[in-house]
Structure 1
Amino acid sequence: MSFQEGARAGERAMRAVFPPTPLLRNDMLSARYGADVWLKREDLSPVRSYKLRGAFNAMRKVMQDDAVFVCASAGNHAQGVAYMCKHFGVRGVIFMPVTTPQQKIMKTQMFGGDRVEVRLTGDYFDDTLASSQAFCAEAGAHFLSPFDDEDVIEGQASVAVEIEAQLGHAPDHIILPVGGGGLSAGTRSYFGDQVHYTFVEPSGATSLADAVAAGAPVDVSPINTFVDGAAVAKIGQRTFARLASVDPSDVLDIAEDRICTTIIDMLNVEGVVLEPAGALAIEALADVVDQIKGKTVVCVTSGGNFDFERLPEVKERAQRYSGVKKYFILRMPQRPGALKDFLNILGPEDDIARFEYLKKSARNFGSVLIGIETLRSENFDRFLAALDAEGFTYTDITNDETLAQFVI
């Protein structure tokens, strides 16, 4: 059986569990980029990500009544495995780091019900993974990799099978988020050379780009885990074998703060809730606009498991990236009227979002941490010019990551 035949067989079998996710044309993005832009809405699967596809396909091939399935995950893979354990009526043991947010633990338990046991172990994922694999060896259980497994790759390729059926043909261009590579490997293996691909990674975890450059998977630790659904330190051996020949120019990375602008935009304008990894493909449209003019383009929105407690952070990152919010350390003269002089510098579209005035001594100047929001980024040109004209001394700390961890 060819890879394509296997992917189609897996996709047909999935229909007993859940319907195809929608493929929806997006008018806003189509008009913005001059292309026929479609969104493959994996955020609308039963577990709000595509991960249950690979879990289903791998589990169905080794299914036995007394089977025990094990995975190590703090996110979408855990939820997909839990959902499928309940569907198949088998036992699942899911290992999660002790630091996993309670919301993710609860969702995993909800999807798995009494068929799943969640074990919290290790502060870091590597420790969690080691514990899960040790348990597998001891109990004779089946370990379910989140991406580095041929059956998982074949299962993720069902996304491509559905796209082809829903469009009636292969798209001209497809944009895929990349973490461990399961979705990308499956999609590329299914469509082959008839499609132009763009693979998108978060800037803080460029495991595919580094592997392509080195000719083999490499560990890119330490990684930035903000885009948790695609923050993988080392791409899989099996997935890379299917991606090794990609053109390096087709592998992009996008800054974490920039991704936040798409999350906010899709939420405010389209009412679509995306997790950071789910927004990657849409944000990449701006980087390939010359390639996609007049073409049929599919962006895979890989997941929508967004914890709304993160929304203030996402908004903050989006504003800083867009240049409409900045932070400064300002030297304020210790004299009557100095604060009023500063306030008079603010324009009609400027607002103070943060103000901490620390007078630690009787010195002539005091330090102020101040955050300014404005409606348009160009307003800061006038604001900074006015500060200079009035003789204020200041330091822009907006992009100072070390200071930001402590004061922003």
Structure 2
Amino acid sequence: MSTFSENARKAETAMREVFPATPLQRNDHLSARYGADIWLKREDLTPVRSYKIRGAFNAMRKVLAKRPDQELFVCASAGNHAQGVAFNCRHFGKRGVIFMPVTTPQQKIDKTRIFGGDAVEIRLIGDYFDVTLAEAQAYSADVGAHFLSPFDDEDVIEGQATVAVEMLRDLPKAPDMVVLPVGGGGVSSGVLSYLQAESPETETRFVEPAGGANLTAAIEAGQPISLNAVDTFVDGAAVARIGEATFAVLKSVPPAHILVAPEDRICTTILEMLNVEGIVLEPAGALTVDVLPTLADQIKGKTVVCITSGGNFDFERLPEVKERAQRYSGVKKYFILRMPQRPGALKDFLNMLGPDDDIARFEYLKKSARNFGSVLIGIETSDAKNFEALTTKLVEAGFTYRDITNDETLAEFVI
């Protein structure tokens, strides 16, 4: 019987009929910053702009090798797996029904339609992926289709492992560390399995979004469990429950090797990679780069590979990403200011602003008293330290204010 590594190499050879190997690129910017030899495995450059094309191809290839007459395939996806399945349905000449959450970015829905053409039907169901998944599985059972899991399938895991096959082949030497994103666990379990067999000296680190830390929860519980709530911002990795098959591989990962990335901090990484490197990454695709500051002491002088897992970024989300990044970095704040209702009060406030302070929002909320009015004000500046000077001036001038930048409840309604 063939080993996992042998099967992964066969899968990698087979998928060359569909798309070329993705680039493994040394990143000078990140390497200089961290004093390390940092490489990016550019899965954002596959035909569907994510690694998901690999698992979908391998699973469909193996099903059709056993059952050439299988005509219908079904999947559930937040976007990237959907595109991979759509692409491969057209490649193999088979029909697909693709279930996607209603909250899926429009860019991913449109690209799925483009890749699948007449071969696929898209159904938008559920606000969260796990609802979508249940609907897709029920439909698949009802019509006798083959369900293509986005991650919890041995053939999918094997297909995602081809990332590691290419990586080890292309590097001059085995990397000291590989940083892997975690959503459902497909690529992380596949790459880990291959590295354990072919490069056991290579260390691994795993990154999941703070709003979907299902591996952390599963490790603590000793088994996959469903999170009570999931933040869907990192849609490519916003999974409430890690897969059974993937957890079987990942359950031995030391908790200290699992890092959690805050969604707002990921926004700063997306903008940096776009502005400095011209690399477009979706939130899930930026996970591994985002944790490099946390790993700085561990990677100095070492060869490190970060898997940039996807680049399906809807640029309509850019204002939100910029907003969240500015708030995380401390260069944008929102205040509710109690403004005296007297001539010159507004001018007094404006004179307190520094040369790099800019008003991004100004709105009277209500008149809370005869002599005072409440104002919602948003201020952008060049350096977070500038706010110290501003708030000091406000206090000295007798202005009452409340910083609501990080008040999630208030921010949701008034910002």
Give the TM interval when normalised to the shorter protein: over 0.9
TM-score (norm 1): 0.98
- Residues 349-397 of structure 1, C-alpha deviation per residue, up to 9 Å, x if partnerless? 1110110024537611100000010001111111111111111100000
CA distance in 1, matches of 2:300, 2:129: 41
1:298-337 pair list within 5 angstroms: 298-337=305-344
Q: Relative to structure 1, is the Cα distance of residues 101 and 291 closer, same or farther in structure 2, using a 3 angstrom cutoff?
A: closer
Which residue of 366, 383, 393 maps to 2:390? 383
Q: Relative to structure 1, is the Cα distance of residues 135 and 365 closer, same or farther in structure 2, using a 3 angstrom cutoff?
A: same
Contact 1:65–1:90 (8 Å) recurs in 2: no
Report whether the alignment pairs 1:2 with 2:9.
no
1:4-403 pair list within 5 angstroms: 4-63=5-64, 64-192=68-196, 193-360=200-367, 363-403=370-410
Could you tell which deviates more after superposition, 253-262 or 350-359?
350-359
> Deviating runs (4+, > 6 A) in structure 1?
none
Could you tell which deviates more after superposition, 146-155 or 218-227?
218-227
- Residues 73-95 of structure 1, C-alpha deviation per residue, up to 9 Å, x if partnerless? 13101001000101111111111
Alignment partner of 2:156: what SS? Answer: helix
Contact 1:170–1:191 (8 Å) recurs in 2: no
C-alpha deviation, 1:250, in angstroms: 0.5
Contact 1:325–1:374 (8 Å) recurs in 2: yes
Alignment partner of 2:165: what SS? Answer: helix
CA distance in 2, matches of 1:396, 1:368: 12
- Residues 65-121 of structure 1, C-alpha deviation per residue, up to 9 Å, x if partnerless? 442110011310100100010111111111123444443222111101111111233
Contact 1:353–1:370 (8 Å) recurs in 2: yes
Give aligned pairs, total: 408
CA distance in 1, matches of 2:161, 2:271: 29
CA distance in 2, matches of 1:259, 1:99: 19
TM-score (norm 2): 0.96
CA distance in 2, matches of 1:263, 1:232: 20
Contact 2:281–2:313 (8 Å) recurs in 1: yes
CA distance in 2, matches of 1:242, 1:27: 33
Give structure 1 stretches of 5+ with no counterpart: none
Q: Relative to structure 1, is the Cα distance of residues 291 and 15 closer, same or farther in structure 2, using a 3 angstrom cutoff?
A: same
C-alpha deviation, 1:221, in angstroms: 2.3
Contact 1:4–1:190 (8 Å) recurs in 2: yes
C-alpha deviation, 1:136, in angstroms: 1.4
CA distance in 1, matches of 2:308, 2:255: 22
CA distance in 2, matches of 1:352, 1:85: 51
Alignment partner of 1:399: what SS? Answer: coil
Give structure 2 stretches of 5+ with no counterpart: none
Say what the alpha-carbon RMSD is for the aligned residues. 1.2
Contact 1:263–1:275 (8 Å) recurs in 2: yes
- Residues 177-207 of structure 1, C-alpha deviation per residue, up to 9 Å, x if partnerless? 1101001000100001321111001111111
CA distance in 2, matches of 1:124, 1:200: 21
